[in-house]
Chain A
Amino acid sequence: MEILDFRWDIIWNYRDYFIRGIWVTLALTLCGFFGGFIFGVFLGLGKNSKRKWLYWPCKLYIDLFRGTPLLVQIFIIHLAVIPSIFGHSLGFMVSGIAALILNCAAYVAEIIRAGIQSIDKGQMEAARSLGLNQFQAMRKVILPQAFRRMIPPLGNEFITLLKDSSLVTVIAANDILYAAKVVSGTYFRFWEPYLAAAALYLILTFIVSKIVSFIEKRFSIEYNPRKNKNDEGRVVA
């Protein structure tokens, strides 16, 4: 049976491709996430706004990018948008990161909006009744609380993006999946390269989920008094 005679040596032979693939996948994901995060914060705040001229463009953007497949967005950006603006392709990295940023921003925006809206409206009222303006109340009272609640869904988004970055392989990005394609194309063997790719993605997402849960614990200390007080019930600063 074919399963029993795996030839892992072919993966080893192409290890450089896989190692490069890991770096490319990480670069795509990290750039896409942090770019998307910054853009998404503005979108999310905009969608939370009562001002119609701010709300509607943000809502439209979010609906467009959440309502269409990332794969289609990658093709449009790589084959249509960027060549139209620059006259030629700027390579898979630019197109890939741009697509991931634009896509990720829409999801982050919804996480930000939901996080802010999950904070009891009495918090805003209390802050405003003390004389804080909208911005001060957001900065001092709402966002610090909302941010803690956003950590788990943001972690999910990061993991989703890490996996979805494999779609960029369709515009010839040399990421992890591309390495698997090269190996399978060379040896006409499919189990080993794609299992190896799956294992690499699994290892990466596992590491990320560990980091996320660490960050979550780190920031939730104040919310869990039992963890940081001594016997007299005093909080240890």
Chain B
Amino acid sequence: MIKIENLHKNFGNLHVLNGIDYEIHEKEVVCVIGPSGSGKSTFLRCINLLEEISDGAIYIDGVKVNDPKTDINKIRTEVGMVFQQFNLFPHMTVLDNITMAPMLIRKMNKKEAEALAFELLQKVGLREKAHNYPQQLSGGQQQRVAIARALAMKPKVMLFDEPTSALDPEMVNEVLDVIKQLAIEGMTMVVVTHEMGFAREVADRVIFMDGGVIVEEGPPEQVFGNPKHERTKAFLSKVL
């Protein structure tokens, strides 16, 4: 479903990604772990071209993302993204946050879009917050709204960029539970995370990144239980 070939990303002289090859299949949940500065967020952001790609190629459903002829806006409607800082639109109610893109881009009418929004809010347990503004919600609630907002476009893939890193500890689980539920429903997901317990439980495969390359990847039992690489062992010994 997502195929990444020899992906490179430089910020000037800083080489953040140094050749990544990977393939993510449909209904797979891939968790990306690694020390900060290892390039895992950049890797994720390259997938929907929030970062320009320096070299290499990314294909989503066979369409080359970084082809000048590709309509990147269309690709992005198929790829939902959830950010560390939620990035809800503060001037819109929760409901408007969710219905804006489906109405504008999917050309849904207001009634359909709101029905969909309420359905998604029900799913993330925030139906009663529909008419509140984001800043009236807790961090965990905001992040759940952000997930609902991304789901409203009915994406084929969901990307999560450290979705719980900006949350108070007691709110982490309410967000992870929503993501777990999506995994059970068969959503294809790439999750950059520091929550090792979550990665172990939910991931089909875990990627360990360091220095802009994939050092090790495999099923969570293998990466967490029996890491082959010294760098993986060193990292896991610090975080587990």
Contact = CB atoms under 8 A, between A and B. Distances in A.
B136 A130 contact: no
B104 interface: yes
Given A125-B50, A140-B104, A223 B90 contact: yes
A131 B131 contact: no
Contact of B150 (A123, A125, A130, A144): A130
B189 to A, nearest CB: 15
Given A129-B48, A131-B101, A145 B90 contact: yes
Category for how many chain A residues contact B: 20 to 34
Contacts of B235: none
Contacts of A125: 50, 81, 83, 87
Contact of A129 (B81, B133, B135): B81
Interface in A72-113: none
A42 to B, nearest CB: 23
A225 interface: yes
A129 B90 contact: no
Contacts of B80: 129
Interface stretch (A3-11, A55-63, A229-237): A229-237
Nearest to A130: B101
B116 interface: no
B87 A128 contact: no
A43 B235 CA distance: 51
Contact of A123 (B79, B87, B93, B101): B87
A160 interface: no
A67 interface: no
B121 interface: no
Interface stretch (B12-20, B59-67, B70-78, B203-211): B70-78
B133 A141 contact: no
Contacts of B149: 130
A148 interface: yes
A225 B90 contact: no
Contacts of A133: 73
Contact of A130 (B90, B91, B135, B153): B153
A49 interface: no
Contacts of A141: 89
Given A141-B89, A222-B91, A131 B77 contact: yes
Interface in B106-157: 131-133, 135-136, 146, 149-150, 153
Nearest to A141: B89
A3 B152 CA distance: 73
Contacts of A41: none
Interface core residue of B76, B87, B133 (most chain A CB under 10 Å): B87
Nearest to A147: B91
Interface string A153-184: 00000000000000000000000000000000
Contacts of B199: none
B50 A128 contact: yes
B53 interface: no
A149 to B, nearest CB: 11
A132 B104 contact: yes
A136 interface: yes
A136 B132 contact: no
A229 B137 CA distance: 14
Interface string A114-140: 000000101101111111110010001
A91 to B, nearest CB: 44
Contacts of B74: 131
B87 A233 contact: no
Interface string A36-50: 000000000000000
B89 A225 contact: no
24 contacts: A120-B85, A122-B85, A123-B87, A126-B81, A126-B83, A126-B88, A127-B89, A128-B50, A128-B73, A129-B48, A129-B50, A130-B100, A130-B101, A131-B73, A132-B101, A132-B105, A133-B73, A144-B91, A145-B89, A145-B90, A225-B135, A233-B132, A234-B131, A235-B133
